[in-house]
């Protein structure tokens, strides 16, 4: 079922709550520029195994409200806290993809892991998606700046181009259309501002504040969040396990979805 949660005086987030009576709860945070629908191939399987799957559309994306501002990691983490408190969640697994993974990490640091028993990171945009002094492993900042410019000039065309950037395996035209349709309802300014956030913000100081078991899933062919980011996460988080996906790019939750779902369930039950 779907409903709205108020996280600020003028902002409501859409929440999809699948199998609310499940034994264990996983709270999913999607990546840029998508929505909770990106996790369709998890929501098809995990509830049948007894899990409650909650997907948030972050502000500016999917069915959520689209305010002009608030597109930074602190505000996104605070929005997640608003959902957690509104639903009374405790002892849950927090899971995030790409910028959603960065948001999850900031939540753990900023809100001291409130209610979280385990953390799962999927191709997370941390500790920095872009290169910076002393950290040569991310995308060039100018590449992200181009995404911002393309978003503000011709967002549909920019979104079409993400198919080649996000997927390593060949996917059908129909699946590419599905991916495009997930991203299209976002506000253009939200899409641009979140890209500026992952271009400019970093989480180097956040990783060491994570005190729960953490699973890192990452595609070896990721052209958005390079594999070196996963290594840095493993080194920076005290209790972390890294699992590589040999046949995936940035969209490992689809490209190797059976392995993805299996690894996530093993982690939760372990």
Q: Compute the half-sphere exposure of residue 30: CA atoms within 13 Å on the CB side of its CA.
A: 31
Residue 14 has pLDDT above 90, yes or no: yes
- Please report the pLDDT score of residue 1 as a whole number: 86
pTM above 0.75? yes
pLDDT digits (tens, 9 = 90+) for 16-52: 999 999 999 999 999 999 999 999 999 999 999 999 9
**For 2-269, CATH number?**
3.40.50.1820
> How do the domains of the chain map onto residue ranges?
2-269
Catalytic residues: 98, 222, 250
pLDDT digits (tens, 9 = 90+) for 64-110: 999 999 999 999 999 999 999 999 999 999 999 999 999 999 999 99
User: Omega of the bond prior to 33 within 30 degrees of 0, cis?
Assistant: yes
What value does the mean pLDDT take over residues 211-239? 98
In this structure, the number of other CB atoms found within 10 A of the CB of residue 138 comes to: 24
pLDDT digits (tens, 9 = 90+) for 115-145: 999 999 999 999 999 999 999 999 999 999 9
- Please report the pLDDT score of residue 141 as a whole number: 97
CA distances from 221 to 30, 125, 226, 234 (A): 20, 15, 8, 18
The torsion angles phi and psi of 162, rounded to 5 degrees, stand at -70, -20
The torsion angles phi and psi of 56, rounded to 5 degrees, stand at -95, 135
Nearest partner of 76 among 61, 90, 63, 86, judged by Cα: 61
Q: Confidence class of residue 188 from pLDDT cuts 50, 70 and 90?
A: very high
CA distances from 32 to 72, 195, 204 (A): 12, 8, 20
3-state secondary structure the chain: CEEEEEEECCEEEEEEEECCCCCEEEEEECCCCCCHHHHHHHHCCHHHHCEEEEEECCCCCCCCCCCCCCCCHHHHHHHHHHHHHHHCCCCEEEEEECHHHHHHHHHHHHCCCCCEEEEEEECCCCCCCECECCECCCECHHHHHHHHHHHHHHHHHHHHHHHHHHCCCCCCHHHHHHHHHHHCCCCHHHHHHHHHHHHHCCCCCCHHHCCCCEEEEEECCCCCCCHHHHHHHHHHCCCEEEEEECCCCCCHHHHCHHHHHHHHHHHHHC
């Amino acid at each position: 079922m779907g409903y709205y949660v108020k996280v600020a005086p003028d902002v409501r987030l859409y929440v999809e709550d699948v199998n609310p009576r499940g034994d264990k709860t996983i709270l999913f945070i999607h990546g840029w520029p998508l929505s909770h629908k990106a996790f369709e191939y998890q929501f098809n399987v995990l509830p049948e195994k007894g899990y409650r799957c909650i997907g948030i559309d972050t502000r500016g994306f999917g069915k959520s409200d689209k305010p002009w501002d608030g597109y930074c990691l602190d505000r996104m983490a605070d929005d997640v806290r608003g959902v957690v408190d509104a639903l009374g969640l405790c002892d849950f697994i927090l899971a995030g993809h790409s910028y959603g993974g960065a948001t999850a990490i900031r939540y753990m640091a900023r809100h001291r892991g409130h209610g979280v028993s385990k953390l799962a990171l999927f191709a997370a945009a941390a500790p920095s998606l872009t290169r910076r002094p002393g950290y040569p492993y991310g995308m060039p900042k100018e590449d992200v700046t181009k995404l911002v410019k393309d978003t503000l000039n011709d967002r549909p065309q920019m979104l079409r181009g993400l198919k080649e950037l996000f997927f390593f395996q060949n996917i059908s035209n129909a699946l590419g259309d599905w991916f495009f349709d997930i991203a299209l309802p976002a506000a253009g300014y939200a899409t641009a501002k979140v890209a500026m956030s992952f271009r400019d913000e970093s989480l180097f100081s956040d990783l060491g504040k994570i005190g729960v078991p953490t699973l890192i899933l990452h595609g070896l062919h990721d052209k958005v969040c390079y594999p070196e980011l996963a290594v840095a996460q493993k080194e920076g988080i005290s209790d972390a396990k890294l699992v590589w996906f040999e046949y995936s790019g940035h969209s490992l939750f689809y490209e190797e979805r059976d392995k993805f779902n299996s690894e996530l369930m093993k982690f939760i039950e372990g």
